[in-house]
Structure 1
Amino acid sequence: MLYRKWRPKRFSDVVGQPQVTVTLKNELRSGRIAHAYLFTGSRGTGKTTCAKILAKAVNCLNPQDGDPCGECEICKGVENGSIMDIVEIDAASNNGVENIRTLREEAHFTPAAAKYRVYIIDEVHMLSVGAFNALLKTLEEPPAHVIFILATTEVHKIPATILSRCQRFDFHRIPPQEIADRLTYVAEQENAKLDPQAALLIARLADGAMRDALSILDQCFGRSKDVTEQVVAETAGLVGREHLLALADAIKAGDSAAALEIVDRLYRSSKDMARLCEEMSSHFRGMMLIKTMKNAREILAVPETEFVQMEKQALSTPLPVILHAIDTMQETLEKMYRGGDRRTVFEMAMIRLCTPQLDTSAEALLRRIEALEQGAPQRAPAQTKAEKPQTRAEQMPPAQSKLEPQERAENAAKPAEGKKDAEQLQKEAKQLAEWPEILQIIKSFSPAAGAAFTGSTAYISGNYVLIDAPNQLALKFLRQPNQRENIRQAIKQVLGKSYSLGPYRKPEKNEAEEDPLAVLAKKAEAEGIEVIKK
């Protein structure tokens, strides 16, 4: 296996953990060796590997700048397992008091061949309370020839009395680019070809664990020695995920029938409903990251083609819908593990997502309220006898009066059509339902602009977004080039398309409206009713 074949044998070979390796090498060079170490971090980040390197380094007969030489009899004996002074214990299966008592008795014997007797206790958090108590005294005052190295993925489960007696080192998740570089090196040594994008995809799938990345690469080599992004997708099961996009589209459109048809087709093809629920939750998480981050590509472990589809889908889906879907998927997964028919539970979740009216949760209610606010009908303007004379700026199209110089120059080429264009844009304008979401993004760009546009309404007409500014300050922001660019970027992030900007001019009422009594009198005379006038 690649992860065993390419396990680092020196601190300098360890990838992505300089905060650990540099400190340990300095301690070894200076001879300041602690009696107890605690290595903590997520899986596959090098805890056990560094523990074995440290065990060799403290006993090496010819250390080289803090690293074991790898050539002396001690180093070779540790590698082949013939040195009995290096003891590795799995606390998951040896977690009782008797096991620790045996260890304490052995610790008093001097090493047979090495300088130090080293105990590497892996997954130490699995020890029982009694076992921790039995280890405590020995850990506090161990014999001079004994070194303990404890490794764990759940440091919060270790008693504080143990933590205080150890020198702690935290292992971080390895950055994707460093994993990709290491994978490229391994592929070259294995006489194989690894595409850079494929290496990055493996690194994202590994989620910061070098061991997992090497395992995935090993599986890819089983398919082909020329590893491309497509090979990685097929190996990791990332192909055939169109159903996730289809289900998300059905939820956005509120089409519960289409969603249930997709679920039925997947169920008949032996798709596990719990696994489908996890995939849907992960898919909506990806949409959430795309929606809220400037660049989510480095985080999402999906092929480039699928990322493009997810990005298009995310930009056209309101954020409340995405967040509600994530909450619903998480709750559905919990219900599945508590028992019941998994297919029925998942189908109920799909219906609730497609029809928020059937969901009584707070998230669903907020989603419905926002939909009502965005879709509220506007009061029709009153009919007037004569229109107020238009100013020169009002006769120009919105793109000409309030937009960029380039747009003004283009519209100036057709002055005769200016008034007609403006009227046509105003006539065809429809309220932009996503405007509240766009405002939230504008606030992140400029809190002052977000506050100025609070209470505003936007309308979409062709390639223009017309903004009904609530005050003069908002109009001032609308004229500033940098603020206009922020607004256009926010619109593009939500709608997925660039639009020109302009003000929305509401039709104004005629100040000289006819007296209502006079209107009634004229109507009566027309019907032959005598009207007495004083």
Structure 2
Amino acid sequence: MHIALYRKYRPATFADVVGQEHITHTLQSEVASGNPAHAYLFTGSRGTGKTTCAKILAKALNCRNPQNGDPCGECEVCRGIDDGSVLDVLEIDAASNNGVDNIRDLRDEANFTPAVGKYRVYIIDEAHMLSTGAFNALLKIMEEPPAHVVFILATTEVHKIPATILSRCQRFDFYRIPRDAIASRLEYIAGKEGFTVTREAAELIAGLSDGALRDAISLLDLCSSYSREITRDTVLEASGTVGTGHLYDLADAAADGDTARALAIAGELSRRSMDESRLCEQLIGHYRDLMLTRAVQDPTPLLDTPSLDLQRLRAQSDRYSMERILYSIEVLQEALGRMSRSAERRTELEVTLIKLCDPRLSTRTDALLSRIEKLESALRAGVTLPQTPTAARTAVQEEPELPEIPDFPDVMPVPEQPAPKEKPAVKAEAPAPEEQKVLNWREVLDHLEKKNPALAGALVGSSAYRRGGYVLIDCRDDFFLKLMRENDYARECIKQAFLEVNGTRCSIGPYRRPVQEKKEEDPLATFIETLDLPQERVQID
């Protein structure tokens, strides 16, 4: 019967544990001195050796012939612990045995002296899954434990462990295992098993495992069933990934603003059954590498990218500003959160790629900073300001004038109760000289977006003008006009946002400003417009 490689090559001594020397040396010294703690807490990400170290510690404490703090592995106690016949060492899965009754049974058993070894060792895996009652029951015996009892708690979410339990444990934090250490271990296992693995393939497996040696060995086991000569292509085929080339292609398309190309790449990946969430995670990691490459002179120690991609990564990072990179990461992280709640994950991905290609579609602060940085870079480079062609100006002047729409009073009349005849409907007039544009209207919309994103979305591209106690909103969205007529809550949301930003209450109404005859274009204003910057954020003297 085939034995999984991660079980076959599970470390038997502290010296065999990879990448956790800061922990194994301490545990080995405590066992050798004969002064172990009564409770240990092992915390860290999956596959880093928590349960393995717990079992080695349990064997070392009960071994008949310990070797400098390590279990001998040959005595009847060591062999019995390995095959589960020694009942003095009990492993409990807290994910399925998390009730108070389970811990009460454990507490009653702990009072009995060991049958074979020196200590009764209780290994509680996924300890954070215990219920509140179970933690309280465990706390009782941990406060005054019998001298022959040792508790070892293992968890991936230490923040869920009560402080009263933490204070009674000796805590050890397991680190993610370095890429080089995982790759070397994989090469060692391959040599023992009689198949070959290239260094490039071993590093790729190490990168995919995210610092978890157990996951890396499991993937190596899978690759060995594909071929006895494991290469980079073998790993990509066995793991179902498509390499990293598509990440560079998508980032290049976003930098070029080539939406069609980005969507075409996403469509091809979808055809090849690439999971949208996984692709989003990979893109976040790729933009992280771009961020580090721009932020640090020598990013090699911080990158999860193999050294053969570093040159290409540097070249691509030169195409991005730091503001654009941060904007991309934020957009991808938000999309990843929505994908977990959406049935249309492909649509979410496509919307995200469009936003990456065109930051104008976002009103986020980081997107605006990216666009401002684009303008500053162009001005520093001495780009010639474009002139608006005469024909284009003429065409603008000859646009048909849009009809005005009626302005509505702040309190809308109930349909069944028509307004009195002495109060005729208010008609929108041409902007009077005393009307003033609301300069902080963008700030009002940002404030509104936090409370009513749908309404804020309907007001994208709108402007506002003050006339006395009224704020007239110029918006071309028919949905907004419908809200003004029918939805009291929408009107109240806008007024509340205006109040919180400006400190004054106002009445509101829809308004369509008539098209004015275009004056001679200012070259700098035209240049800023070509760079897709919001005009209300730039003042030109």
Q: 1:251 aligns with which of 226, 250, 254?
A: 254
Q: What's the offset of the Cα at 1:14?
A: 1.3
State the partner residue of 1:88: 91
Q: 1:204 aligns with which of 201, 204, 207?
A: 207
> Is the 1:204–1:300 Cα contact (8 Å) retained in structure 2?
no
Which letter maps to 1:117?
R
User: d(CA) in 1 for partners of 2:195 and 2:382?
Assistant: 65
> Structure 1 210/29 Cα, relative in aligned 2: closer, same or farther at 3 Å?
same
- 42-51 vs 243-252, which moves further: 243-252
State the partner residue of 2:531: none
State the partner residue of 1:148: 151
State the partner residue of 1:52: 55
Q: 1:286 aligns with which of 289, 306, 313?
A: 289
Q: 1:174 aligns with which of 172, 177, 182?
A: 177
User: d(CA) in 2 for partners of 1:325 and 1:187?
Assistant: 40
Q: 1:128 aligns with which of 123, 126, 131?
A: 131
User: d(CA) in 2 for partners of 1:12 and 1:192?
Assistant: 25
User: d(CA) in 2 for partners of 1:372 and 1:302?
Assistant: 32
Q: What is the number of equivalent residue pairs in this alignment?
A: 381
Instruction: Say if 2:72 is the partner of 1:69.
Output: yes
Q: What's the offset of the Cα at 1:167?
A: 1.6
State the partner residue of 2:364: 361
Secondary structure at the aligned position of 1:205 is classed as helix
Which letter maps to 1:33?
P
> Structure 1 282/67 Cα, relative in aligned 2: closer, same or farther at 3 Å?
same
> Is the 1:122–1:150 Cα contact (8 Å) retained in structure 2?
yes
Instruction: Say if 2:312 is the partner of 1:317.
Output: no
User: d(CA) in 2 for partners of 1:277 and 1:203?
Assistant: 20
User: d(CA) in 2 for partners of 1:215 and 1:299?
Assistant: 25
> Structure 1 296/215 Cα, relative in aligned 2: closer, same or farther at 3 Å?
farther
Secondary structure at the aligned position of 2:117 is classed as coil
> Structure 1 44/30 Cα, relative in aligned 2: closer, same or farther at 3 Å?
same
Which letter maps to 1:109?
F
Q: 1:263 aligns with which of 251, 261, 266?
A: 266
Which letter maps to 2:330?
D
Q: What's the offset of the Cα at 1:173?
A: 1.8
> Structure 1 292/138 Cα, relative in aligned 2: closer, same or farther at 3 Å?
same
User: d(CA) in 2 for partners of 1:255 and 1:317?
Assistant: 15
Instruction: Say if 2:122 is the partner of 1:119.
Output: yes
Q: What's the offset of the Cα at 1:8?
A: 0.8
Q: What's the offset of the Cα at 1:125?
A: 1.0
User: d(CA) in 2 for partners of 1:201 and 1:27?
Assistant: 37
User: d(CA) in 2 for partners of 1:255 and 1:231?
Assistant: 32
Q: What's the offset of the Cα at 1:52?
A: 0.7
Which letter maps to 2:134?
A
> Structure 1 11/274 Cα, relative in aligned 2: closer, same or farther at 3 Å?
closer
Instruction: Say if 2:279 is the partner of 1:276.
Output: yes
Q: What's the offset of the Cα at 1:97?
A: 0.5
> Is the 2:241–2:274 Cα contact (8 Å) retained in structure 1?
no
> Structure 1 347/173 Cα, relative in aligned 2: closer, same or farther at 3 Å?
closer
Secondary structure at the aligned position of 1:92 is classed as coil
User: d(CA) in 2 for partners of 1:171 and 1:271?
Assistant: 32
> Is the 2:196–2:228 Cα contact (8 Å) retained in structure 1?
yes
Q: What's the offset of the Cα at 1:273?
A: 2.9
State the partner residue of 2:221: 218
Secondary structure at the aligned position of 1:66 is classed as coil
Rg larger in structure: 1
Which letter maps to 1:235?
A
* TM-score of the aligned structures, taking structure 2 as reference length: 0.66
Q: 1:98 aligns with which of 93, 98, 101?
A: 101
- Percentage identity across aligned positions? 58
> Is the 1:204–1:299 Cα contact (8 Å) retained in structure 2?
no
Q: What's the offset of the Cα at 1:270?
A: 4.3
State the partner residue of 1:351: 354
User: d(CA) in 2 for partners of 1:209 and 1:272?
Assistant: 22
Which letter maps to 1:363?
D
User: d(CA) in 2 for partners of 1:103 and 1:213?
Assistant: 35
User: d(CA) in 2 for partners of 1:379 and 1:161?
Assistant: 65
Secondary structure at the aligned position of 2:121 is classed as strand
> Structure 1 53/305 Cα, relative in aligned 2: closer, same or farther at 3 Å?
closer
Which letter maps to 1:103?
L
State the partner residue of 2:15: 12
User: d(CA) in 1 for partners of 2:238 and 2:294?
Assistant: 29
> Structure 1 366/185 Cα, relative in aligned 2: closer, same or farther at 3 Å?
same
> Is the 1:238–1:302 Cα contact (8 Å) retained in structure 2?
no
> Is the 2:255–2:319 Cα contact (8 Å) retained in structure 1?
no
Q: What's the offset of the Cα at 1:379?
A: 9.6
User: d(CA) in 2 for partners of 1:15 and 1:240?
Assistant: 27
Q: What's the offset of the Cα at 1:262?
A: 3.0
User: d(CA) in 2 for partners of 1:41 and 1:269?
Assistant: 34
User: d(CA) in 1 for partners of 2:324 and 2:190?
Assistant: 43
* TM-score of the aligned structures, taking structure 1 as reference length: 0.67
Q: What's the offset of the Cα at 1:342?
A: 2.6
Q: What's the offset of the Cα at 1:31?
A: 1.0
> Structure 1 340/184 Cα, relative in aligned 2: closer, same or farther at 3 Å?
closer
**Residue correspondence of structure 1 range 456-495 to structure 2 within 5 A:** none
Secondary structure at the aligned position of 2:152 is classed as strand
User: d(CA) in 2 for partners of 1:231 and 1:293?
Assistant: 33
> Structure 1 66/101 Cα, relative in aligned 2: closer, same or farther at 3 Å?
same
> Structure 1 82/270 Cα, relative in aligned 2: closer, same or farther at 3 Å?
closer
User: d(CA) in 2 for partners of 1:298 and 1:222?
Assistant: 33
> Structure 1 15/271 Cα, relative in aligned 2: closer, same or farther at 3 Å?
closer
User: d(CA) in 1 for partners of 2:258 and 2:278?
Assistant: 22
Secondary structure at the aligned position of 1:291 is classed as helix
User: d(CA) in 2 for partners of 1:126 and 1:36?
Assistant: 18
User: d(CA) in 1 for partners of 2:368 and 2:211?
Assistant: 38
User: d(CA) in 2 for partners of 1:104 and 1:270?
Assistant: 50
Q: What's the offset of the Cα at 1:73?
A: 0.7
Which letter maps to 1:343?
R
Q: What's the offset of the Cα at 1:115?
A: 2.0
